[in-house]
Amino acid sequence: MILFPPNEKNKLVKNMQQTQKEYEKLARCFNSFKDSDSWPGGFGGSFVFTAEWAEDYYKSVDMSSFFVVYAPDDENKMVGVCICNKSWDTPDGWYVAIIGVDPAYQGQKLGKALLLKATQYAMERGARFIGLHTWGGNLKAMPLYKRQGYKWRPRTSVYMENYIPQILNYSLFREFFSIYSWYDIFKPVINQEQNNELDNEMHIYEYYFETEEGESLRVWIDRSIGRISGFHFKFKNLDLHIQAKTPNSQAFVGIDEFPFNLLLKNQSEENVKISLSASSTSSLKFSGDKQATIELLTNQQKELTYTGSFLSDTEELDVQIFPQIYSLNELVFQLSLNGVSFPIALGKIPKNAVDIQTDPKNFISKSNTEVTLPVIISNFLEEEREIIITVADSKLLYFEKKNYNIKLSKYDSQIDIPVKIKESSTNVDYFEIKVSSIDKTEIISKKLPIIIFKKNKAISYEIDQQVFIENRDVRASYYKGYSIGENLVTIRDKKRNLERTGFTMVLGYPFDTEGSEFYTKNLDHSINITEDGIWLHSSASSTEKKGIQFTRKIFVPNDDEPIGLCFTLDNNSDKEMGDLGVQTEFWWWRGDRLEQLIFHFKEGIKYFNLPELPIDDPNKPEDFQEGWNAGKYPEGYVGCLYNLDRLDKIKFQSTEEKIPKLRVNESYETSMIWFYFADTWQEIQLKWKEKYLNLAEKRLELWRSPSDYKAIGLYSDSTLKYLCRGIILPKSNQNVVLSIDTQKETGFEGSIGLNFPKLNISPEEYIINKTKTSKLEVLFNFDKLTKRLYSGKLLFKTLSLNYEYPIAICCFDEGTEISVQEVIEGSKKTFIVDNGFLHFKADSSFRGQVYHLSVENNDNYLQTFYPNVKPFLWWNEFYGGLSGEIYSAPQRDEYNYNRLKFEGSKIQRGYWKGISFKSEIIEYSSKLKGLQVINNYLTLPTSPIVLFQQIVENHSETNRTFSIFSDAQMKTSGKPEDEYYTEVKEKITTFKLSDFQAYARRHQDYDVKWAAYKNIENDYTFGTVAYSNQKYVNVGTYSPDLSFATLGSDTKNIIVKPKEKFVFNTLYILTKDLESIRPFTQTNFEEYF
């Protein structure tokens, strides 16, 4: 039996029981998790857990891996929780979903006892590893985790993985760990740093155990695959060192040959005899001894050498984007010593040397036409190279020119290939395209599809292990070849660019917290074409419900109808099967853009935003009037339609259907669930009636929000007319033009005026009496401008309605010089900008960002540890200040972006003056390669504003798609009275710093371009306003705890063409008047360049 450390606290750990008293204790325990050191913002934020909530949430959950710990001084007081589940995406992986201890009982080793229980539980179930997430600033817990064998996986924020279960279960070590408690002899390195352990460039983790008697075990884990790659074991009469190595964990597909070495070293007093069998996964070919018997004399060592390479069709694993994913390519040595068999494994991460793809990769055309086919050649070799591209004709495609000699840029290249498409019905045809070196050595060969639409019809095809089924309107897709991708299906609406992902296969009843066995199973897929569309069948046999064949069926129609989903269960066992049910799960990856959720309850149609909706609390079908829900996005609606008579539970993102007992050889098919994309929720409601009530209503009343057709605002009396609500003016200016443009002829009758409480305006009111005009402009004069900011109202009165718009004037003194200095502070070159009112500092070595901003040289308004970078909250490396970043969605890559080098310089653009930081050209990411970032921080003389310009230049020869954000990290008072502000239902709304996490961001209106923050110890409110030429940009506030607050903006999926640039502007405003911030969402800052 494997020994775990004896500890009196272990007796206090128990399984959670599903009783009313336990639910009450659990709710109290959850409510105690309010310390921000352990849970930023407190566990659950402002939500108050109750026994009723706990019972409703956990009553049908398998509690075998739900552990609780009781207080040493009160056996009835639950003070800690640990929930351990199967990993949803990794075979043999387990995951600690929750671990927490009441702050009043921390430091008493209760967390240690809970975590040890989870490790033991996972080990007993054959876990390869157990993982958890925390954050870099969790100074309390990091030593606890590392002491128990957790390693911080490099370049994650912060994912920790523990291979102790695999080591304890290793057949050669079991006797060792049955004599010695592993915890007592484990010698970890405990620090607050990532475990970026390397052997040359091979990614490893090292574990070391040593007894007082001098016996020891050193184990190496190949972290590219998460398996034991070697050990040095000194136990009893054995002293054996076996280790597999490769110089680099990564290799290029198709062109690299790489060595594998297996070292066997015997330092025992006796000779040893080891038998060996070597094998590899299908995409990895190797040469070397596949069978061997090795005899090692005392103090003798032997080294076996193997050579490997990837097959040319091996799919790349981009660890820059997915640092937490394991490679599926490995060489396994199955060894045997004295009748004990044990494996040594070595992984390899495939990288593309060159890739080739049409642009877009789902290239669609008409038949009987000639088109130009854009082809992107991606270069991962980090050097220019002469290549030959060859294309071949196919059944429906004819290429007049078939060979192209090009110089491939290190930042990728694009060529345009003319192709004639023959007459055809709706179809898919593949053409072969090859890339060869100048000596005609083939680098890559692929077959790429062209989708030909003549009429709306469902078709299926494949690109790079990804299978697509689509019609003109919608597309369904999944990745084949590995279990996670096979189980996840994405459906996408082409017109609105909306999607849902999930539709995973979950079989059970009750459904436990350990996830689905099918998450990590390879599925059998088949495409079935019918008169109405195409069915995708995906099936596998259940291990937990032996004899049950489980099949998911997804239907893509030939027309603009919903996509369908159902499941079938076949009982192939020799007995009746019960406790069966199917859970349908789906997710929305655009959660930050989800504006509203709509359900039709018995009491009527209800609208929710995410915090209002109890998405963790399932509703019963009898709660609903109709079986549909709709998610509203800026682009449109995503609807889910279901049969209320067949379902047992309904959440926004899932449904559950209980299945009656299945007799031998009996089958059962669940009810259909339909997914529909539309412009209004009424269309979704109507489609549900058509599907389930057979009501084909012919008339649909659409609800649409009225749009403001008037363009109304101010501009300065100059040649450049930027229509503003917040206008920037030099102090010498004494007039503005008020402009109204109705965009069509109309009759004006009423009055317009400007009202600034601290500014005399003439005329006080302008009377309007005009007919048949579309534009009206009036010049208003005012006294000399003396303040930095004025806020007021624009008043527009008509015979029927009165309009009132907030407006503001920001002033600058064009006669004052802005000071920009370069100084040496410590060992760093610092830039200091002083405009006579604002004072800010920046440093190119500090990621090219502003780390200090003050008013009249007082305290810093920004949160930073400058000149140091430290772990803080969930950041591995916290810089703070005013900053920005570009990334390739969906995965942020702060680790590599933080290591970009920036060069700083002074900059002046018209009246604007400040600092510019230019980065080196990005090479660390295949998606961002060739992009260069320029951060400009500019201000106007004596003004209360800083303009942050993020300029992204594309030096590559192909389009680049990226996302961009800017952040102002604010210093707080540490008191709950601090406030932040945003817009809710078109009104300025105040939130306290103590409000939970993204509470304000989740409640605010969508497409809000401003936010503000007020530290009660500062005189000025700090506002931020963002501008983008993209359709959507959202600014939000965020306060995970009293020590930190941020104002941030984020714009996704920006496309910048070759040799062009994208500019994202953010305006920071310091003011004592909150009303003066919002108007600057329309302003004229460019007028003074």
Q: Is 816 helix (H, G, I), strand (E, B) or coil?
A: coil
SS (H, E, C) 960-1006: EEEEEEEEEEECCCCCCCCEEEEEECCEEEEEECCCCECHHHHHCCC
Residue 1038 or 832, more confident:
832
pLDDT score of 1004: 60
pLDDT score of 518: 80
pLDDT score of 651: 78
Helix (H) or strand (E) holding 840: strand 838-843
Asked if pLDDT for residue 703 goes beyond 50, the answer is no
Summary mean pLDDT of the chain: 88
pLDDT of 318-365, one tens digit each? 777 677 888 889 999 999 999 999 999 999 999 888 999 999 999 999
| Structural domains in the chain, sorted by start | 1-186 (3.40.630.30), 196-352 (2.60.40.10), 353-455 (2.60.40.10), 468-693 (2.70.98.10), 711-812 (2.60.40.10), 880-1088 (2.70.98.90)
**% of the chain surpassing 70 pLDDT:** 92
pLDDT of 389-419, one tens digit each? 999 999 999 999 999 999 999 999 999 999 9
The pLDDT confidence band at residue 1001, using thresholds 50, 70 and 90, is low
pLDDT of 475-514, one tens digit each? 999 988 665 656 889 999 999 989 888 887 888 776 655 5
pLDDT score of 1029: 64
The pLDDT confidence band at residue 987, using thresholds 50, 70 and 90, is confident
Strands (E), 300-395: 300-310, 330-337, 340-347, 349-352, 354-358, 364-365, 369-379, 385-391
- Give the number of other Cβ atoms within 10 Å of residue 645's Cβ: 9
887: left (phi over 0), alpha (psi -120 to 50) or beta: beta
pLDDT score of 884: 93
pLDDT score of 583: 87
Number of helices (H), then strands (E), belonging to the chain: the values are 11, 75
Tell me how long the chain is. Answer: 1089
Instruction: Lowest mean pLDDT of 81-95, 155-169, 359-373, 734-748, name the range.
Output: 734-748
Instruction: Lowest mean pLDDT of 351-365, 584-598, 645-659, 732-746, name the range.
Output: 584-598
Asked if pLDDT for residue 695 goes beyond 70, the answer is no
The pLDDT confidence band at residue 531, using thresholds 50, 70 and 90, is very high
Contact 431, 448 (CB under 8 A): yes
Strands (E), 439-503: 442-452, 459-463, 466-470, 474-479, 489-493, 498-502
Amino acid occupying residue 495 = K
Q: Which of 327, 326, 375 shows the shortest CA–CA distance to 354?
A: 375
pLDDT of 196-212, one tens digit each? 999 999 999 999 999 99
The pLDDT confidence band at residue 139, using thresholds 50, 70 and 90, is low
Mean of pLDDT values over 816-844 = 92
Asked if pLDDT for residue 388 goes beyond 90, the answer is yes
Q: Is 520 helix (H, G, I), strand (E, B) or coil?
A: helix
Q: Which of 878, 857, 882, 859 shows the shortest CA–CA distance to 869?
A: 878
pLDDT of 363-376, one tens digit each? 999 999 999 999 99
pLDDT score of 998: 47
**% of the chain surpassing 90 pLDDT:** 62
pLDDT score of 1058: 94
pLDDT score of 398: 96
d(C-alpha 329, C-alpha 309), whole Å: 11
Asked if pLDDT for residue 145 goes beyond 50, the answer is yes
pLDDT score of 611: 52
User: Strands 349-352 and 250-253, how do they pair?
Assistant: parallel
pLDDT score of 270: 93
Asked if pLDDT for residue 917 goes beyond 90, the answer is yes
Q: Whole-model pTM?
A: 0.83
Helix (H) or strand (E) holding 183: helix 182-185
